[in-house]
Amino acid sequence: DSVRNFVNKMMSKTFYISDNLHNNYKSIFKLPACLQCTYVVDLLVETSHILMGHVYPLPVKQNIHDVLHCQVDGSKEMLLVDNKEFPEVESILDLDMGSHGRASLLNSLAVDYERYPALTSVKQFHLAMLGPGDCIYIPAGWITQSNILTLDNSVELKWTSSSWTPDSDCSKGVKSRFLSSLSFPGEKYIGVDPTLDKKGVLVDKVSLIFDKLLSKKNSLNFAQFLAKLVKDDIVLPDLQEWTVEITARTKEMFNTLDMNLDNMLDYRDVEMVNNENIPKLMGRMEDRLADL
C-alpha cells in the first residue's frame, strides 16, 4: 500500500503514529522559507511525521532541538512554557526519551498538583491554535502540550540549537530545495541530489501519473490519457515534437498501467499495484518514459 493511501484510510480510525517523515514524502515537501538559510541547513537533525485520527490530549514533552512544527491537516491547540523563564517547570518531566528529549506522565485533563507542584508557579502559558498550513517555531527546551481538536497530520523539522548571526545567504534563501535533497543525521538520512537520483525521478514521474488516476471520478480511455500526458511538461520535460512513434510508445505505457485489462485507467488499476508486481511495473514504466 502507498503512504498516501494508508494516510487516507487510517485518518478516520483511532490510531497514533509518530516517526521520521517517510522518504517518499521528503521528495514532495519543500524546505519552509523561514529555514532557507545555508547555516540552518547545516544544523538540521531530523524530521517527524505525526498522524492521529481522533481528538486526544498528547503528553507534555520537551525537545532538546529547535523545532518548526507545521500542521498539514486537522487542527490542534498547543500550550507552551518558556523553561528559561520558569525553570522549575522542568521538574514535571519524569520520562527520559534519549535524543528525543523528555516527557511527562502528567494527565493534562486532571492535573495532580500534589505530584506536580511546580506547575502552580508558572505564571504565563503561551497558547497557539494551529490549522492546515500553520507553522510554529518552538525554541529548544520549551515545554509543550498539544490537544488534538479534530485529527492530526503534522510535520516537524528539528535542528541543533545554536546562536548565530544571519548573513547574506540567509536573505537570499535556499531556492526550491526538497527535503529529500537535505541530510538528516539524526535519522541517518543522506540527502540526494535530485539531478543524479534517477530512481527518484522515475518514482516522481510515475507518482504524478498515478495522481491523475486516484480520483474516483477519473476514468480515462487511451485518447483521454494521451491528452493529459501531452500537457504534462513534468512527466515529459524534453518532448519536442509529438510523432506517430511516440503515440505508439504511449499506448504501450497505457497498456502497462491498465492492470485490470479493461482498456480504462482509473483508481482500480492503482489499487492493484502491490509489492510483488511493482518491480516489473516500474521497470516497464522506466523503459516507456525513456522512449518518450
pLDDT in tens, the chain (292 residues): 455 566 666 556 667 788 999 988 898 898 888 888 778 888 999 999 999 988 889 999 999 999 999 999 999 999 999 999 999 999 999 999 887 889 998 888 888 999 999 999 999 999 999 999 999 999 999 999 999 999 999 999 999 998 766 666 666 655 668 899 899 999 999 998 766 667 777 777 888 788 777 665 678 899 988 888 877 777 776 666 778 888 888 899 999 999 999 999 988 888 898 888 888 888 888 888 877 6
Name the DSSP letter for residue 181.
Answer: G
Residues 6 or more apart from 127 whose CB is under 8 A from it?
77, 78, 79, 80
Mapping DSSP to helix (H, G, I), strand (E, B) and coil, where does residue 70 land? strand
CA distance 213 to 180: 25
Q: Is residue 33 within 8 Å of residue 143, measured between CB atoms?
A: no
Q: What is the pLDDT of residue 108?
A: 84
CA distance 157 to 264: 41
**Integer CA distances (angstroms), 25 to 70, 117, 135, 286, in order:** 14, 42, 18, 21
Find cell 545555508 and name the residue. 38
CA distance 91 to 81: 13
Helices (H) then strands (E): counts for the chain: 9, 12
